[in-house]
């Protein structure tokens, strides 16, 4: 009860013009609603597609829990919750890579593809955290490493073995793969841009400074819920279930 009272107290102190706090709150509720939707829909799918939808639910549920804490951290301190955000990403981004593997299994995707994407996503996030929170005076160097890992993932899904498997699968799988690729290329692009806005480096001269938590929060909701809805739509088609 004491923790609940403290939480309610912090929420009550949010200023009506605090748009960052507002997007944290909306993000938390949107992710939780999406997680409930994915979990409750599992029984309508064929067994081989349930894991994909389950992972979508896990991604949004994990994000909802972290957004609950990030919202309270912002309300209490008025600072960007960098640590909580990276903990969220280190769990959810590799799971988003898992989604690519799961839909490509029909075309013969091997575990090697899964592990490559997971490893590079972890490298992308760990090096990003080092540059943004640990070695701030070397942010450009760590950001470069993070960016290289990101572009490897982009290459793999757009031009590499993941793309070849998607083409081999064809049909609805190829369509879903293309949509997920656009999420990674366009939707994930906000994260390196936000990194450059929040750190100092050779890019500081042309990148504006400022708090980009609003953009991060909106992008997170669109990317994670959107990823899940693409997988859900594919599972509906493949299972012959009513949407």
Domain ranges within the chain, ordered by starting residue = 2-239
The architecture that CATH gives domain 2-239 is: Up-down Bundle (1.20)
Question: Looking at the predicted structure, is the pLDDT value of residue 4 above 70?
Answer: no
Average pLDDT, the chain: 87
Question: Looking at the predicted structure, is the pLDDT value of residue 218 above 90?
Answer: no
Q: Place 3 in a pLDDT band, splitting at 50, 70 and 90.
A: low
Return d(Cα 188, Cα 79) in angstroms, integer. Answer: 23
Could you please report the per-residue DSSP string of 20-61? Answer: HHHHHHHHHHHHHHHHHHHHHTGGGS-HHHHHHHHHHHHHHH
Q: What is the pLDDT of residue 13?
A: 61
Question: Counting beta carbons within 10 angstroms of the beta carbon of residue 159, is it exposed (0 to 12), middle (13 to 18) or buried (19 or more)?
Answer: exposed
- Overall average pLDDT of the 9-27 stretch: 74
Distances, alpha carbon 19 to alpha carbons 13, 63, 77, 223, in Å:
13, 19, 15, 20
Q: Place 94 in a pLDDT band, splitting at 50, 70 and 90.
A: very high
């Amino acid at each position: 009860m004491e923790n609940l009272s403290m939480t309610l107290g912090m929420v009550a102190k949010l200023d009506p013009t605090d748009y960052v706090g507002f997007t944290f709150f909306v993000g938390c509720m949107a992710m939780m609603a999406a997680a409930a939707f994915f979990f409750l829909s599992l029984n309508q799918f064929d067994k081989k597609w349930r894991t994909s939808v389950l992972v979508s639910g896990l991604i949004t549920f994990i994000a909802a829990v972290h957004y609950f804490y990030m919202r309270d951290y912002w309300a209490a301190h008025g600072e960007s919750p960098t640590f909580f955000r990276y903990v969220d990403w280190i769990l959810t981004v590799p799971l988003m890579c898992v989604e690519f593997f799961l839909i490509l299994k029909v075309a013969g995707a091997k575990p090697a593809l899964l592990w490559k994407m997971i490893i590079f996503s972890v490298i992308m996030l760990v090096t990003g955290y080092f540059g943004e929170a640990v070695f701030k005076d070397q942010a450009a160097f760590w950001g470069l490493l993070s960016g290289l890992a990101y572009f490897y993932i982009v290459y793999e899904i757009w031009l590499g073995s993941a793309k070849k498997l998607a083409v081999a699968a064809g049909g609805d799988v190829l369509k879903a793969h293309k949509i997920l690729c656009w999420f990674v290329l366009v939707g994930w692009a906000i994260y390196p841009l936000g990194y450059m806005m929040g750190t100092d480096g050779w890019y500081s001269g042309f990148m504006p400074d400022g708090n980009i938590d609003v953009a991060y929060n909106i992008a997170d909701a669109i990317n994670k819920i959107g990823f899940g809805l693409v997988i859900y739509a594919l599972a509906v088609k493949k299972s012959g279930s009513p949407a």
